[in-house]
A and B are shown apart, each in its own frame.
Chain A
Amino acid sequence: MSDQVTAAAYAGPVLAADGTLLKDRLNKTMRRRKLIAAGLVLPLGAFVFITFMFPIILMLYRSVDNPVVHDNMPQTVAALEYWDGQGIPGEEAFAAMVADLVQARKSKEIGRVATRLNFEMSGVRSVLTGTARKAKNMKAPFKDALIAANDLWGERELWVTIKRMAKPFTASQYLAAVDMRFDIDNNMVMQDEDRQIYVTIFGRTLWISLLVSVMCLLLGYPVAYLLATLPLKYSNLLMIMVLLPFWTSLLVRTTSWIVLLQTNGVINDLMVWTGIISEEGRIQMIYNQMGTVIAMTHILLPFMVLPLYSVMKTIPPSYMRAALSLGANPVTSFVRVYAPQTVPGIGAGSLLVFILSIGYYITPALVGGRTGQMISNFIAFHMQKSLNWGLAAALGGILLVGVLFLYWAYSKIVGVDNMKLG
């Protein structure tokens, strides 16, 4: 150490050929190389950001964005700002409401306002659209006029709901996504029992994913072991059997399972034919949770086999032989010597399968029936059927946070670099 210091002191700073400090030159070159490396990554980074990440961020914004009432009922929003939420508001709020209704009907925005409020309070849609039709001819006192048009205008709950929805941002979608709601006094309470669903579905999504991961591990481990221990000539051939499903269309594989598992499908036919079950005793194996789990296990199994295989390939067979020759029986030597070395593969495979499972949509939609639906199916439902896009975004937001957390864990434990494809 001290020798080096004296040597450096003796020689003075090291200079490059053009007389500048070598350290600076090196730094400069390093910086330039860093820039080149970053420059190469930039086009893809920009592309992925614009076409993929930015759209997702924009969607998540929808889960809290709440502009409809705020923008289309400006007078009511202003009139309700200082209302304390007790009883029903005064005449000026009713007058503002009538003016806003007239305006919203003219601008054709009334339907959107009504739709938004109807998500919060069932039955409001017709009250708003119906009243808006009459609003033009209403005369003061507007309180009486509105209540005459519909009793609901005299209810505190309606006004509290409007006041809550008047804010340009809302947490109500996230509350709905975890089966909660605001009650009339703006406290967070659980949703009515017969409307609770998403917590159950999130739980089921995790349960199905867990089941699929465990099934994949149970089925994938022996196969990976066989592949890793067979001579290359045979293992290459068997590897193709693992990879072929990987390369086959998801829809083809799902179709195949429908063909195999349906009540009048190949497996039931076979069992009836061989006399295992009677004609009436055909088993329902699809359009339920079982169908989802079977089809997903099949689809995701290669994602388990590949990481396991690549880890097992690196374990020298001599370890097992050594354990055996030292007197351990085959079971002990497998459990104590071989299995612990495959843990990284188990971790990588299980995490990957789990991550991919929890976002599954196509397979549960086609073979899941009633009990095999997962959270993605409900996101799709609110995207396409109910058109409650805010709730879809909130459900998606929760799912995304979960997936990203697992992905982060994966990158810490396994490392993104070690992801293998075929």
Chain B
Amino acid sequence: MLPIYAGPLETTWYYTFRVICGLILLFLIAPILVVIPLSFNAEPYFSFTPGMLSFDADAFSMRWYEDIINNKQWIHSAKNSVIIAFFATIIATTLGTVAALGLSRPEMPYRGAIMGLLISPMIVPLIISAAGMYFFYSEVGLTQTYAGIILAHAALGTPFVVITVTATLTGFDQSLIRAANNLGANDTYTFFKVTMPLIMPGMISGGLFAFITSFDEVVAVLFLSGFEQRTIPRQMWAGIREQISPTILAVATILVIISVMLLATIELLRRRSDRLRGLV
């Protein structure tokens, strides 16, 4: 990278720049990692105890994780989060993919404007979306129900699906469809045998985005859910506002591990998709 003819000034700058970037990356990553060791704190404190710093085994414990497992509320919230995110993802991915197929057709009228409207749930401040939904969903009896939250989360998740699937489709060679048709395949067959495998990575990563959107969402849940539908983020919100115990850190650690796994999946998919589309 550093050319051999670089002078002392350039060399200094080169390393300074690297250090700056390192610090910025540290800023990005350190806050996420710092909760992990603290979640094993034996004391109900939020900071490293002297015992932890000297790696005294007694200073560490699994008590906050036991807390989660023994707490019906956390387990119930975890179930809720998964159920709600699962159904919201299915709705968002299905509707989003179908719409993306339409949007990617060259004949689509008013493409930009419609795309703009479909992506708006991602842009409109959540507090406004949630407040609007709160009034309307109360009127039709959807507040304090699973269905209400699933619909809300599906709406908030669709933009991600639309964006990722249309992005996959921009590299899509429309002549493949014509070729399939010429070879005698009907539309349905063509979709499942030609289009679908090619846009699959986009669908899955869009779906994962929709999943994490729902899994992480708290504002709509704050307004729409009853006690019965509390999700993990809702439970964390209450915890942070009221009693910030290290249990929250244990939950946070588990969530970090889940995000690492999701991210790894997305990365693998992205590479596979690039390979399939011949972009690498």
Contact = CB atoms under 8 A, between A and B. Distances in A.
A and B touch in the complex (CB under 8 A): yes
Interface of A: 30, 33-34, 36-45, 47-48, 51-60, 62, 219, 222-223, 226, 229-230, 236, 238, 240-245, 247-260, 262, 264-266, 269, 298, 301-302, 330, 355-356, 358-362, 365-366, 376, 379-380, 383, 389, 392-393, 396, 399-400, 403-404, 407, 411, 415-417, 419-422
B163 A44 contact: no
Contacts of A241: 25, 28-29
A109 B98 CA distance: 48
B265 to A, nearest CB: 10
A420 B167 contact: yes
B219 A51 contact: no
A379 B18 CA distance: 43
Contacts of B219: 361-362
13 contacts: A33-B105, A40-B105, A41-B118, A47-B158, A52-B155, A55-B137, A62-B135, A223-B25, A259-B38, A260-B34, A266-B34, A376-B127, A421-B164
A176 B95 CA distance: 40
Which applies to chain A's interface (DSSP): helix, strand, loop or mixed? helix
A37 B256 contact: no
Contact of A45 (B20, B45, B114, B163): B114
Which applies to chain B's interface (DSSP): helix, strand, loop or mixed? helix
A55 B130 CA distance: 9
A421 B160 contact: yes
B205 interface: yes
B129 interface: yes
Contact of B98 (A44, A252, A360): A44
B59 interface: no
Interface residues of B, number: 94
A327 B118 CA distance: 50
Nearest to A256: B31
A39 B129 CA distance: 26
Residue from the set A33, A226, A301 with the largest chain B CB neighbour count within 10 Å: A226
Give 5 nearest A-B pairs by CB, closest first: A359-B125, A40-B102, A55-B136, A44-B99, A55-B132
A244 B107 contact: no
B123 A355 contact: yes
Contacts of A54: 136
A366 B237 CA distance: 8
A222 B20 contact: yes
Contacts of A379: 127-128, 131
Contact of A40 (B25, B99, B128, B262): B99
Interface string B48-68: 100000000000000000000
A43 B128 contact: no
Contact of B116 (A256, A266, A403, A416): A416
Contacts of A229: 1
Contacts of A359: 124-128
B114 A41 contact: yes
B228 to A, nearest CB: 19
B38 A396 contact: no
Contacts of B249: 255, 259
A106 B152 CA distance: 38
Interface in B109-158: 109, 112, 114-121, 123-129, 131-137, 151-152, 154-156, 158
Given A39-B102, A51-B152, A265-B47, A376 B125 contact: yes
Contacts of B1: 229-230
Given A222-B21, A251-B218, A255-B35, A38 B108 contact: yes
Given A53-B120, A256-B35, A396-B131, 9 more contacts: A36-B105, A40-B105, A44-B98, A55-B135, A223-B21, A244-B260, A247-B263, A255-B248, A421-B209
Interface string B65-99: 00000000000000000000000000100011011
Contacts of B203: none
Contact of B259 (A48, A57, A244, A411): A244
B244 interface: yes
A129 to B, nearest CB: 25
A252 B256 contact: yes
B118 A44 contact: yes
A44 B23 CA distance: 43
Contacts of B277: none
B118 A48 contact: yes
Contact of B212 (A36, A38, A247, A415): A247
A52 B129 contact: yes
Nearest to B115: A416
Given A45-B114, A269-B47, A407 B123 contact: yes
Contact of B28 (A236, A245, A416): A245
Nearest to B53: A273
